[in-house]
Amino acid sequence: MGYRENYEEWLEKADLKTREELLLISGNEEEIKDRFYAPLSFGTAGLRGIMGAGLNRMNIYVVRHTTQALAALIKAREMNEKGVVVGYDSRLNSKDFAFEVCRVLVANRIKVYMFDELRPTAEVSYAILRLNAAAGVNITASHNPKEYNGYKLYWSDGIQISPSEARIISEERECIDMFSDVFLTDSSSAEKNIIYLDRAFDSGFLSAASGVCETGLAARPCRDLSVVYTPLFGAGYRLVPEILKSAGFKNIFVQKEQSVPNGEFPGIRTPNPEYAENLALAIETAKEQNSELVIGTDADADRIGVAVRLRDGTYKTLSGNQTGAILLEYILSSKKSAGVLPEKAAAVKTIVTTELVSAICKNYGVELYNVLTGFKYIGEKIDEFKKTGKTYIFGYEESYGYLPGDFARDKDSVSTALLICETAAYCKSQGKTLYDALCDLYLKYGYYEENTSEFYMQGLDGLEKMKNTMKSLRKNPPEALGGLAVSGIKDYIHGLDGLPASDVMYYILEDNTVVIVRPSGTEPKIKVYVLARGDDKFDTESKISAIKQEINQIYF
């Protein structure tokens, strides 16, 4: 059917509230087309989109339809009794969408575990592994603006679903009608059949998350570190303070205005700790409390940002690359000093994450694995290590996502919050800050700096613009960028370096600076990463500036 026919079908078959919303746009042809020209696409990242009525929106019908396709796969593999774990974050409609998932699963006679309130993303992954479940669904759009929500799907290994499973579910969605082919039980029946995971379940998760700091780390004696935490209205509001207090940190202050879950995210454009302005209120609280450290997590508590008090009393935010490098150096140096660094230790990073990690791992004799962007690939490496006898030490991506243990298969801000505080406490015992630790890294390994640019391509032709830009990069590759010759080009479109196919262009410049261009998997934008190493801050920033300017002029 065309977009008009789809619109008319929804006007006929949807519930009253949805029909009322659709009638409000009856005279807006462009809006109707945008909502109904195609279904919200389903891939290895699941679903993510603006909330509202329509095929190309996040709503109860799209959630039910996708869950019915998931149910078909679970039944085909006879995994009904293993069950599905369902979680959700603080976003608008997240709890309602999660309950709709349960209604469909119960109607399909599939066991359902649902958290009794919002939880961090990593706890969903942890629950799948602990309960030996068939799959997991987390209703979240992570760090996106308040208008968005999403459907993040995990398989029995606790990792986001593979391309093969995503393809099966996507094809199943095409075969079943959104209104007539979805099994749906009533709310009362669903309630009776859901196995709720309450706060007692958290104890196992917190114990596992705390375990990342129990072997060979040195900060235990120092517990007077003062920390301000902001959950940015999200799912970390309870467990992050709990894990810190249980570890003995007593001076933990939660930023009051942002402490209660709220899907409107008042006062911030998007609940993303990557943006320094989102930590501004927490920094003001830190000034009042004379705190050394500020940490903040996003809506589903899988990302975490950091700000450090400098010696002059001001606060400096750290990038995701910088935080990860500091944590990795602390882990490896502590374990080596304690004599507990495993012989076959391995770390993982994404290809767009700082090359400083390579230098750190080389120094400690730790094998480093590069994977494609997306934490699922780090999760896959953890499982691979279990089969090959390697010991997973740490994994991270530049976009503020870290996993210091193998208790889950997705990035986790809860365990990372503890690790950050342990590291900061150790630094304090040495008369230093986390920023001092970063400066020490640069003295030891050289000056590294990274920059990420985002080019949004909104509208109906946004995807086409993204495809054409990537096509241009392949057809007319640059010979030089920022005055530096391009000495090597990697195109991952058909797979490369043992990694699966991905729409990524990777340029190596003559001084080993790396430039990477890739479309976002969740938003209508292209991201450009510059990973540079120079003699000092000025030298490195000058390289990055010249490269960015040239890329912008040529391709964007």
Choosing from 90, 94, 125, 142, which is the catalytic residue?
A: 142
Residues 81, 65: Cα–Cα separation, whole Å = 21
What pLDDT, on a 0 to 100 scale, did the predictor assign at position 213? Answer: 84
E strands of 176-328, at which residues?
A: 194-197, 226-230, 251-254, 293-297, 304-309, 315-318
**What is the distance between the terminal CA atoms of the chain, rounded to a whole angstrom?**
35
Q: Which two tokens stand for residue 433?
A: 């800050």
The per-residue pLDDT for 465 is: 85
5 contact partners, CB below 8 Å, separation of at least 6: none
Which residue in the block uniquely carries the two structure tokens 């302005």? 277
Report the distance separating Cα 113 and Cα 110, nearest Å: 10
- Residue in this structure with the two tokens 């998760």, named with its chain if needed: 205
Question: Residues 6 or more apart from 439 whose CB is under 8 A from it?
Answer: none
Residue pair 339/328 in contact by the 8 Å Cβ criterion: no
Alpha-carbon span 421 to 249, nearest angstrom: 8
pLDDT number for residue 218: 52
Cα–Cα distance between 354 and 324 in angstroms, integer?
9
**pTM for the full model?**
0.94
Q: So what's the pLDDT on residue 546?
A: 93
CATH 2.40.50.140 fits 202-445, yes or no: no
Which helix (H) or strand (E) covers residue 61, if one does? helix 60-76
Tokens of 423: 């590291």
pLDDT at 43: 80
Edge-first strand listing for the sheet containing 367-371: 367-371, 345-350, 391-397, 401-403
Can you give the pLDDT of all 556 residues of the chain as single tens digits?
Answer: 899 999 999 999 999 999 999 999 999 999 999 999 999 988 878 999 999 999 999 999 999 999 999 999 999 999 999 999 999 999 999 999 999 999 999 999 999 999 999 999 999 999 999 999 999 999 999 989 999 999 999 999 999 999 899 999 999 999 999 999 999 999 999 999 999 999 999 999 999 999 988 755 655 557 899 999 999 999 999 999 999 999 999 999 999 999 999 999 999 999 999 999 999 999 999 999 999 999 999 999 999 999 999 999 999 999 999 999 999 999 999 999 999 999 999 999 999 999 999 999 999 999 999 999 999 999 999 999 999 999 999 999 999 999 999 999 999 999 999 999 999 999 999 999 999 999 999 999 999 999 998 888 877 677 788 888 899 889 888 899 999 999 999 999 999 988 989 999 999 999 989 999 998 876 788 999 999 999 899 999 999 999 999 888 877 7
Nearest CA-CA partner of 272 in 410, 93, 148, 405: 148
Helix extents (H) in 403-485 = 413-429, 434-445, 462-475
Q: Side chain identity at 67, as an amino acid letter? A: T
DSSP codes, 323-375:
HHHHHHHHHHHHHHHHT---TTEEEEEETTS-THHHHHHHHHT-EEEEE-SSH
- What fold characterizes domain 447-555? TATA-Binding Protein (3.30.310)
Strand bridging mode 447-456 / 525-534: antiparallel
CA geometry: angle at 362 spanning 359 and 366, to 5°? 125
pLDDT computed for residue 223 by the predictor: 84
What's the confidence (pLDDT) of residue 300?
97
Could you tell me where in the chain the CATH 3.40.120.10 domains are found? 38-197, 202-445
Query: How many Å apart are CA 409 and CA 380, to the nearest integer?
Result: 8
Annotated catalytic, 187? no
Please, is 186 exposed, middle or buried when counting C-beta atoms within 10 Å of its C-beta (0-12, 13-18, 19+)?
A: exposed
Pairwise CA distance, residues 457 & 461, whole Å: 8
195: its two tokens = 């196995």
Strand order in the sheet with 148-155: 47-50, 148-155, 135-139, 84-88, 112-115, 194-197
CB-based burial label for 399 (10 Å; 0-12, 13-18, 19+): buried
Question: What is the C-alpha to C-alpha distance for residues 324 and 332, in angstroms, rounded to an integer?
Answer: 12
Contact (CB, 8 A) for 219 and 423: yes
- Token match 């290809």: residue? 351
DSSP 8-class letter at 405: S
Cα torsion angle, 257, 259, 263, 265, sign: positive
Topology given in CATH for the domain delimited by 38-197: Alpha-D-Glucose-1,6-Bisphosphate; Chain A, domain 3 (3.40.120)
CA quadruple 411, 413, 415, 421: dihedral sign:
positive
Q: Which residues of the chain are in CATH 3.30.310.50 domains?
A: 447-555
CA atoms of 361 and 347, how far apart (whole Å): 8
